[in-house]
Amino acid sequence: MRVRAELVLLLSAFALTGCTDSIAGTYTDPAGVAKYAFSANGNVRIFVLGAEVDAEYRLDDDKVLISSAQGTVVLTRRDDRLYGPMGLELVREKTDPQGD
Q: What is the mean pLDDT of residues 36-62?
A: 96
pLDDT given at position 13: 35
Architecture of the CATH domain 22-92: Beta Barrel (2.40)
Q: What is the mean pLDDT of residues 54-66?
A: 97
Helix, strand, coil % (nearest 5) of the chain?
Answer: 20, 45, 35
Q: What is the mean pLDDT of residues 68-83?
A: 95
